[in-house]
Chain A
Amino acid sequence: MNHDEKQFEELLKKVTFDDKPDYRHRDKLEQELLAAFARRQWQQEKQSRQTGVWRAIMQNRPMRLVAAAAVIVITGLVCVQFLTGTSAYAQVVQELRNAQTVVFTLITQTNQGNSETVRTEMAYKDPGWLRTTTVDGYVAVVDGTSGKMISIVPGGGYTLGEIKNLDKTGEQGPLASIEAMKNLPAKADENLGTKEIDGIACDGYRVTQGDLTTMVWLDVRTGDLVQVEQKYTSAPGMDRIIKNIKFDVELDDSLFSLTPPAGYKPMGVEMKSDVAIQTEETFVAWLGWWANGNTDETFPPMVAGTEIAKVTMDMAKQGKLKSSAWDKVNPQQMFNALLFVAKLPQESNWRYAGNGVKVNTPNTPIFWYRPAGSQMYRVIYADLTVREVAENQLPK
């Protein structure tokens, strides 16, 4: 390096540039690229009329996990609590109660590394049909009346599923979520004042129910619902924003069809589960798979559907899952494990504290809950042992 080069290099050491990548852009572009990738593969398949793309993909370990995660998007519905929040507020509550259809955008901020945001478009129609669509094109449809569902993956794959005893899911079950939405308390706990959201001046109201705190924001001028923000005590760092909310929009029944789109092919996995029989053992086994399967050897950042699917996929993409873990990917186990949490009622006082905890850390509780009818709590520790503990001995 000559004199000029050294001097210029020295100068550059003293200057600063705004060059830190924004991972929201990176993730958005990734989705565009994957969609293009899938389109290209699909076109190639059509042209060559060779073995189905999905058969090839399902022979591939990373994609098996992605496919599994797509299926688990269905259980993301367990996260759709739309609880609460004066006269404009009461009017909105009434609209919610009477709504035959509701559509909205659910934005989850996991605050976990690069997996900053999960954005899902949600549509609900009486008597209990739900459709979720992620920005990268994964679609899940659930018929809450029968428990049947379909997960549609961009590029031409689908998976069918069925959850028996769906009505036995707790406050975080999909139907309970919609019921909660329709049973908002008529009065809010606190008026939060005014703030601007997307250029609209809004009045805010706070409602606290159990471990969920909800902020409802209404357009000052029209009284329309603009945004709902949720924070969970049991799931810190998993804040949710609900926006683009519309009531009683026309939603064609075909949107909720459980029939696979023409030309799409089964992905070789079928999710069948019974909420009533999901056990703690399944949940512990899944926690163990996760913690032992990632390079950091830590427990998952959360134990809820959509978010954990997204985090798992991101970790796979970043090469943070051990190769030995791929061989043990079991979508059904993941599905069942998440349903176990979904069915826990609010009275169980379940809490998750495993985010970032290393597996086998001694004497470190990562999850606890109180089984129905019991005075004692079941506590799962980082070494994957489970003990019964009195309430006064629980972690603070």
Chain B
Amino acid sequence: MMGVSELSGFNFEPDLMTQAKSDPGVFTRLYFRHYDTIFRYCAHRLFDRTTAEDITSEVFLSMMENFQTFDGNERQFRNWLYRIATNAVNEHLRKTIRRSAILTWVRQWSNNDKTGEESHPDESEQKTAVVKKAMLTLKPEFQAIVTMRFFENLKLEEIAEVVGTSAGTVRSQLSRALEKLRKHISSAQLNGQEVTI
């Protein structure tokens, strides 16, 4: 049976959580161990560095509110952070106009590229823009699952723990999300962008 410390290639430290509650030095180490993970998750969800940093701050400050009463190991702590981050990003995407602004930007970029009036991005940039656009058309909940699975390399069981459902449900939602992504990316291909999936 797989041990906790072997999950997702992350070495979780036993006893860290208990010590971190009373020791600022250990608490800081815990924070350092998880900052990059949460920032990257936010960046992969939002495609915007500044917003990702804002949400990352929100996540950790929110965590701080309930840290003393959190009762779990470091793996559960990481999943808790993912859960706070997922809720914060979803809330942000629902409230803000940034999502439409990003889509407009992607659309403008695509149009400019097609008319050839602007600079010609390389193949990687083209693929990036298409993936961003396709991801942002997904429902936030689906987007979260795709990001955790493919960007953060979490296992289905871990995603299920974060989003509070079963691994089977995650698999089903992932399948539906990928189907939607396939359609959007195929549509981009039909519009002349060389992207295959």
B-contacting residues of A (Cβ < 8 Å)?
2, 4-5, 7-9, 11-12, 14-19, 21-22, 25-26, 29-30, 32-34, 36-38, 40-41, 56-57, 60-63, 65-66, 316-319
Contact = CB atoms under 8 A, between A and B. Distances in A.
A319 B30 CA distance: 10
Given A8-B178, A19-B43, A318-B29, A33 B150 contact: no
Contact of B131 (A5, A15, A26): A15
Contacts of A19: 39-40, 43-44, 52
Interface string B1-37: 0000000000000000000001111111101100110
B131 A37 contact: no
A11 B40 contact: no
Contacts of A66: 24-25
Contact of A60 (B23, B43, B127, B197): B23
A12 B61 contact: no
Interface residues on B, range: 35 or more
B150 A9 contact: yes
Contacts of B39: 19, 21, 25-26
B68 A316 contact: no
B60 interface: yes
Contacts of B182: 4, 7
B28 A36 contact: no
- Give me the 6 closest cross-chain CB pairs, A-B, nearest first: A62-B25, A19-B43, A15-B128, A4-B178, A317-B28, A15-B127
Contact of A56 (B22, B52, B64, B197): B22
11 contacts: A11-B131, A11-B196, A17-B47, A22-B49, A26-B35, A30-B31, A30-B32, A32-B57, A33-B28, A41-B24, A63-B25
A14 B60 contact: no
B174 interface: yes
B115 interface: no
B28 A11 contact: no
Contacts of A11: 127, 131, 185, 195-197
Nearest to A28: B57
B98 to A, nearest CB: 15
Given A11-B131, A14-B124, A34-B28, A63 B64 contact: no
A14 B61 contact: no
A7 B27 CA distance: 40
A316 B25 contact: yes
Given A19-B52, A29-B60, A36-B64, 9 more contacts: A5-B178, A15-B127, A17-B43, A25-B57, A33-B31, A33-B64, A34-B28, A63-B23, A317-B28
Given A8-B150, A18-B49, A25 B127 contact: no
Contacts of A41: 24
Given A15-B124, A17-B43, A17-B47, A4 B151 contact: no
B64 A16 contact: no
Nearest to B27: A37
Which secondary structure dominates chain A's binding surface?
A: helix
Given A21-B35, A317-B29, A12 B175 contact: no
B68 A60 contact: no
Given A11-B127, A25-B53, A30 B28 contact: yes
Contacts of B57: 25, 29, 32
A7 B196 CA distance: 9
B179 interface: yes
A63 B53 contact: no
B59 to A, nearest CB: 10
Nearest to A12: B150
A5 B150 CA distance: 9
A52 B197 CA distance: 62
Contact of A37 (B24, B123, B179, B185): B24
A62 B23 contact: yes
B197 A21 contact: no
Nearest to B35: A26
Interface string B39-66: 1100110010100110011001100100
A29 B56 contact: yes
Contact of B61 (A16, A32, A63): A32
Nearest to A14: B127
B143 to A, nearest CB: 13
Interface in B83-134: 123-125, 127-128, 131
Contacts of A40: 64, 68
B175 A4 contact: yes
Interface string B159-197: 000000000000000110011011001000000000111
A91 B56 CA distance: 46
Contacts of A29: 35, 56-57, 60-61
B60 A33 contact: yes
A7 B185 CA distance: 12
A40 to B, nearest CB: 7
A11 B175 CA distance: 16
Contact of B24 (A8, A26, A38): A38
B181 to A, nearest CB: 7
A40 B124 CA distance: 47
